[in-house]
Amino acid sequence: MIVAITGASKGLGKAFAAQFAAAGHTLLLCARNRVSLEATAKALQQQFSSATIHTLEADMSNKQEVLAFAAWCLRMGVPDVLINNAGQFIPGSVWNEEEGLLEAMIETNLYSAYHLTRALLPNMMERESGHIFNICSIASLQAYANGGSYSISKFAMLGFSKNLREEMKPYNIKVTSVMPGAAYTDSWSGSGVDPERIMEADDVAKMVYAASLLSPQACVEDIVLRPQLGDL
């Protein structure tokens, strides 16, 4: 399979890449930080020699760079799996967060997936196959203190995903909304949170990979994962 993953240099994106690389698939990876992205690709290639890994530096909050990544992907081949993972969390409350934060969260957490998906869909629809995973969040389901514009953007991402699911049914293209709770990544280091209190990034990646393996007749519409002891 050809698997396109955004925000793939670390965290959940890196975990998704590792799962598909382990199975020998062709990966098309992007991230904002070229050095980190290339280091991730090199490590994965050394660990999983049967995989084919290509990388492109791209800021997914920038529409032109999103479209450039899409065009680059299509030159490699039409993706069988698209994982819209790129995103950013900046805490705040609606009433006092920094001016412009909503626009920034929407551009990174929603528009990135919207524009990339729209650019790739015509080829996927013509082929009548494919699987799109939209990485939403527990914050897509439940508002929480200090969630602010991040939570708003993730509610919107889930809405986008649900609409897309209905639209793509006639084209045999699956759409899965992924809503993970806290999973330990670099962003949690130094937070003081016990890594064993929250999930591993691999937990989320394993569920996404498993969903990608189902027969054409089956689609996991929603994946909701939380730490065993519940949300923090």
Instruction: Tell whether 209 is covered by a domain.
Output: yes
How much is the pLDDT for 94? 95
Residue 194 is assigned to a structural domain of this protein? yes
Question: What is the span of the domain harbouring residue 158?
Answer: 2-225
Q: What is the pLDDT of residue 23?
A: 97
Contact 32, 58 (CB under 8 A): yes
Q: Residue 188: is its pLDDT beyond 80?
A: no
CB neighbour list of residue 163: distance below 8 Å, 6 or more residues apart = none
Averaged pLDDT for residues 78-100: 95
Q: Is residue 232 part of a domain?
A: no
Residue 83 in this model has a pLDDT that exceeds 80:
yes
Would you say 82 and 120 are in contact if contact means Cβ atoms under 8 Å apart? yes
pLDDT-based confidence at residue 27 (cuts at 50, 70, 90): very high
What CATH number should be reported for the domain holding residue 79?
3.40.50.720
pLDDT in tens, 37-52: 999 999 999 999 999 9
| pLDDT (0 to 100) of residue 185 | 83
Total count of domains within the chain: 1
Task: Quote the distance between the C-alpha of residue 33 and its chain's center.
Answer: 16
Share of the chain above pLDDT 90, in %: 92
In a domain, 35, yes or no: yes
Confidence of residue 193 (pLDDT cuts 50, 70, 90): confident
The rounded mean pLDDT for the chain is 96
Is the pLDDT reported for residue 210 higher than 90?
yes
142 belongs to a structural domain: yes
Domain for residue 230, yes or no? no
